[in-house]
């Protein structure tokens, strides 16, 4: 047992706090799935409009685009954050602070409501990362929507920062703050305080998450100041850097929080241990640095940015492939190689397929993170192609697996059919983005009606890929509905996971899950 | 072969390879291992080989792709025959020739959404914006993106381009700039 700094809790306490954590996480997942469904439908609506099967007013289209981007990235981050927290509480017995977590969830929901009001009633439409100075110049949206969405996002950011610190404190109390980065493994292969991979990975996410939240809060506060006093102005290049430190890091952390969950839960289904060792520690400590430095690849086409930073962008984008695949993907392969058909349950299947999506999306990302390619791919449909790959067929599948585990559903076959459906339709949906990128079709266009080419070549390419994409996107959502049905088949006392010899004695399972 | 095509092809090959490996893993995993310890050892031996191949491969690709970047300092002879100031604004492209070429036909005055340039001379586009960020995306007649740079307020991005032959080229905005973004395009006639 690794509890060193904390008094042994009263009997029954662990079980009670795990139950409370379960409830908060279940509510969070309910919220996230509702958001996902609504935003997924809006995604299909956008593809329909680009395919000319709908004719929305551009102001409406772009406000939908802004809403879709903000709530998808935000919603999936909530799932990752609360998922990691729940697994930590349940598997390590760390202090849950379920009340704080519930309060922060409520604050996030309030923020989400602000974003929805601002983008629907106000038609606020600067795009999800609100590239400076677009909220303020020639807007087609009212001034109140700028203030409302900016403050709503600040509120959400504050809530998440609160969550990050709450988890940090709990982990620190549990393992001792100095052990959380795993450096004790360098002095001894069997250190006195061992940490599980999920603890190490979460710690990496907490540090980079703090950086992301700080840069996010900085530009949001700056925006609020300019909103109050329009005479204030900022340096555009500086703001761009701040925005992408935030946006890039934030998206990556959504993935990594969930990777932590996979390290922890995969062994429960395979019966094979997946432990922290020196290589795992090195991989995740370097990842912590690589994520922060790779963000420069978002500014390749800003030629005024220092060239040495452009170099760094490409080098660290490439470097990030090394720890991710050598340690995590090989670790996963060791988990599943010759596993035997009986252990291929829905949860490990989603984890494995999600990892596949992560690798494919990651490869497409590296292609685009090569400056010479970025020159002709940046802001074409290649960009939504790659990030939808690791969102939709990557971390979203992980969230599906985690939630299935959380509720303890037994509808294996139904869930697996839904998964097969989502994989086939999903990759079809994505291939239309890739093809569009390959055909130089610009992203973030409400429609391709007025592109100027004599043969209408770009309109044709843009509309065709959008139409097929819309159909396949809708099919993906049908698969998701099927999955939601499968969550209804909960059996009391149904335990799908295996316990392993190195499990903490006090980490408890909730009866009835 | 265009860069996009190469990138697409590389991705396709990689995806096929990744899917094949995944399929092999899935196929083999339906059988339960009789020798898990040995399997494990083999996987970790393979991992070391993979680590070296990946590291060398990535370093080599970096070395190759960082040789010729689209940035001004990578031009061996940056003295352009023509300098064009390009200003993006909601939702319009404005062109003004700052340095006139020695020969050929070209737009004499400030023009909007239209530009005439002579062929076979090095052009320097000095791209900026009068309001929000825009993207100066240069397309050929067949709808292929040839290159781009951002148009940023308060900054000038210098993009060098050589139009070998006469023909029509197009500019599309490649950075979301508000509700008229999809309408913001221009035509370049190279004479
Ligand atoms: Cu634009």
pLDDT in tens, B156-166: 999 999 998 89
Q: Which domain holds residue A20?
A: 11-507
Has residue A191 been placed in a domain? yes
Could you tell me where the DSSP H helices lie in A320-456?
Answer: 321-323, 330-336, 346-368, 371-377, 382-390, 396-407, 412-438
pLDDT of residue A376: 95
Separation in Å, CA A372 to CA A1, A89, B7, B151: 52, 46, 10, 19
SS3 string, A181-208, reads CCCHHHHCCCCCCCCCHHHHHHHHHHHH
Does residue A5 lie in a domain region?
A: no
Instruction: For A325, name the nearest residue in chain B, comparing CA atoms only.
Output: B51
Q: Report chain A's terminal Cα–Cα distance, integer Å.
A: 24
Give domain status of residue A404, yes or no: yes
Is B92 part of the contact surface with chain A (CB cutoff 8 Å)? no
3-state helix, strand, coil in chain A (%, to 5): 70, 0, 25
- Tens digit of each residue's pLDDT (9 = 90 or more) over A305-317: 999 999 999 999 9
**Residue B134 CA, ligand 1 centroid: distance in Å:** 5
Please name the residue of chain B whose CA is at the shortest distance from the CA of residue A356. B22
Q: Is A64 among the domain residues?
A: yes
Q: Which CATH number characterizes residue A189's domain?
A: 1.20.210.10
A453–B170: do the CB atoms touch at under 8 Å? yes
The answer to whether position A95 is within a domain reads yes
Tally of structural domains, chain A: 1
β-strand pairing of B82-89 with B122-129 = parallel
Q: How far apart are the first and last CA of chain B?
A: 25
Q: Find out whether B169 and B188 touch, Cβ atoms under 8 Å.
A: yes
Which residue's entry shows tokens 């609160």? A162
**CB A258 within 8 Å of CB A399:** yes
Q: Two tokens at A56?
A: 């929305």
Are B83 and B155 in contact, with CB atoms under 8 Å apart?
A: no
| Distance from the Cα of residue A138 to its chain's centroid | 32
Nearest chain B residue to A132 by CA distance is B132
Question: Which residues of chain A lie closer than 8 angstroms to B63, CB-CB?
Answer: none
Task: Identify all chain A residues contacting B47, using CB atoms and an 8 Å cutoff.
Answer: 326, 330
Q: In this structure, is residue A187 part of a structural domain? A: yes
Look at residue A54 and tell me if it is in a domain: yes
CB of B187 within 8 Å of a chain A CB? The answer is yes
Q: What is the Cα–Cα distance from A137 to A213, expressed in whole angstroms?
A: 25
Q: Average pLDDT of each block of 10 consecutive residues along chain A (513 residues)? A: 49 84 96 98 98 96 98 98 96 93 97 98 96 92 97 97 97 95 93 95 97 97 96 95 96 97 94 93 96 95 94 95 92 90 91 95 94 95 96 98 93 95 96 95 96 91 97 98 93 57 44 30
> Taking the domains of chain B in order of start, what are their residue ranges?
3-68, 82-190
CA distance A76 to chain B (A): 24
- Supply the pLDDT for residue A494: 47
The count of C-alpha atoms lying within 13 angstroms of the C-alpha of B90, restricted to the half-sphere facing its C-beta, is: 15
Which residues does chain A have within 8 Å of residue B147's beta carbon, measured at their own beta carbons? 375-376
**Helix-helix angle A197-228:A236-270, to 10 degrees:** 150
What pLDDT does residue B107 have? 87
Q: What angle do CA B8, B9, B10 make, to 5 degrees?
A: 95
Q: Which of B3, B142, B180 sits opposite A376 (nearest CB)?
A: B3
Report domain B82-190's class: mainly beta
Which residues of A are less than 8 Å from B154 in CB distance? 235-237
Task: Tell me what the pLDDT averaged over chain B comes to.
Answer: 91
Residues of chain B in contact with residue A375, where contact means CB-CB under 8 angstroms, are: 3, 70, 147-148
Chains A–B, number of C-beta pairs less than 8 Å apart: 251
| Domain annotation covers residue A1 | no
């Amino acid at each position: 047992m690794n509890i060193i700094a904390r008094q042994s809790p009263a009997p029954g306490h662990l079980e009670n706090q795990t139950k409370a954590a379960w409830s908060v996480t279940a509510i969070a997942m309910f919220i996230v799935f509702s958001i996902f469904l609504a935003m997924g439908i809006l995604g299909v609506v956008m593809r329909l409009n680009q395919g000319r099967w709908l004719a929305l007013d551009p102001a409406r289209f772009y406000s939908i685009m802004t809403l879709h981007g903000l709530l998808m990235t935000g919603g999936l981050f909530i799932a990752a954050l609360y998922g990691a927290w729940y697994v930590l509480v349940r598997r390590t017995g760390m202090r849950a602070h379920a009340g704080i977590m519930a309060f922060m969830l409520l604050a996030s929901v309030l923020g989400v409501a602000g974003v929805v009001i601002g983008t629907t009633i106000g038609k606020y439409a600067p795009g999800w990362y609100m590239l400076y100075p677009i909220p303020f110049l020639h807007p087609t949206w009212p001034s109140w929507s700028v203030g409302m969405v900016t403050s709503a996002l600040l509120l959400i950011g504050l809530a998440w920062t609160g969550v990050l610190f709450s988890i940090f404190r709990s982990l620190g109390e549990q393992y001792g703050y100095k052990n959380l980065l795993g450096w004790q493994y360098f002095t001894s292969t069997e250190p006195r305080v061992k940490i599980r991979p999920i603890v190490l990975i979460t710690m990496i996410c907490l540090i980079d998450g703090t950086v992301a939240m700080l840069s996010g809060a900085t530009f949001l506060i700056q925006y609020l100041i300019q909103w109050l006093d329009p005479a204030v102005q900022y340096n555009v290049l500086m703001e761009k850097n701040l925005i992408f430190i935030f946006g890039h890091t934030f998206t990556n952390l959504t993935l990594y929080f969930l990777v932590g969950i996979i390290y922890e839960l995969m062994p429960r289904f395979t019966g094979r241990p997946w432990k922290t060792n020196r290589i795992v520690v090195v991989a995740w400590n370097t990842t912590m640095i690589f994520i922060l430095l790779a963000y420069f690849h978002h500014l390749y086409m800003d030629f005024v940015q220092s060239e040495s930073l452009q170099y760094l962008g490409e080098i660290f984008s490439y470097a990030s492939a090394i720890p991710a695949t050598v340690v995590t993907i090989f670790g996963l392969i060791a988990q599943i190689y010759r596993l035997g058909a009986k252990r291929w349950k829905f949860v490990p299947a989603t984890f494995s397929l999600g990892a596949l999506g992560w690798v494919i999306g990651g490869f497409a990302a590296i292609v685009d993170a090569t400056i010479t390619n970025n020159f002709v791919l940046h802001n074409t449909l290649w960009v939504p192609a790659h990030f939808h790959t690791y969102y939709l067929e990557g971390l979203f599948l992980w969230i599906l697996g985690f939630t299935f585990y959380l509720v303890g559903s037994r509808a294996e076959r139904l869930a697996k059919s839904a998964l097969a459906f989502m994989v086939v339709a999903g990759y079809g949906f994505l291939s239309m983005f890739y093809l569009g990128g390959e055909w130089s079709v610009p992203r973030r266009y409400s429609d391709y009606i007025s592109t100027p080419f004599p043969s209408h070549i770009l309109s044709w390419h843009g509309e065709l890929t959008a139409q097929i994409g819309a159909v396949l996107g809708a099919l993906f959502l049908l698969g998701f509905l099927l999955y939601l049905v499968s969550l209804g088949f909960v059996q009391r006392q149904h335990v799908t996971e295996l316990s392993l010899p190195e499990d903490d004695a006090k980490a408890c399972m909730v009866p009835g899950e | 072969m265009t860069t996009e095509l190469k990138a697409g092809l590389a991705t396709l090959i990689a995806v096929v390879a990744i899917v094949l490996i995944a399929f092999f893993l899935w196929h083999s995993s339906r059988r339960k291992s009789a020798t898990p310890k040995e399997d494990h050892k083999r996987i970790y031996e393979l991992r070391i080989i993979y680590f070296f191949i990946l590291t060398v491969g990535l370093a080599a690709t970096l070395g190759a792709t960082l040789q010729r970047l689209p940035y001004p300092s990578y031009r061996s002879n940056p003295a352009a025959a023509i300098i064009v100031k390009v200003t993006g604004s909601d939702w319009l492209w404005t062109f003004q020739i700052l340095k006139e070429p020695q020969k050929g036909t070209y737009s004499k005055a400030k023009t909007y959404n239209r530009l005439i340039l002579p062929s076979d001379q090095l052009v320097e586009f000095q791209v900026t914006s009068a309001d929000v960020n825009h993207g100066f995306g240069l397309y050929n007649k067949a709808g292929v993106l040839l290159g781009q740079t951002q148009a940023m307020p308060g900054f000038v991005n210098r993009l060098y381009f050589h139009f070998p032959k006469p023909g029509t080229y197009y500019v599309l905005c490649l950075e979301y700039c508000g509700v008229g973004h999809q309408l913001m395009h221009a035509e370049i006639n190279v004479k």
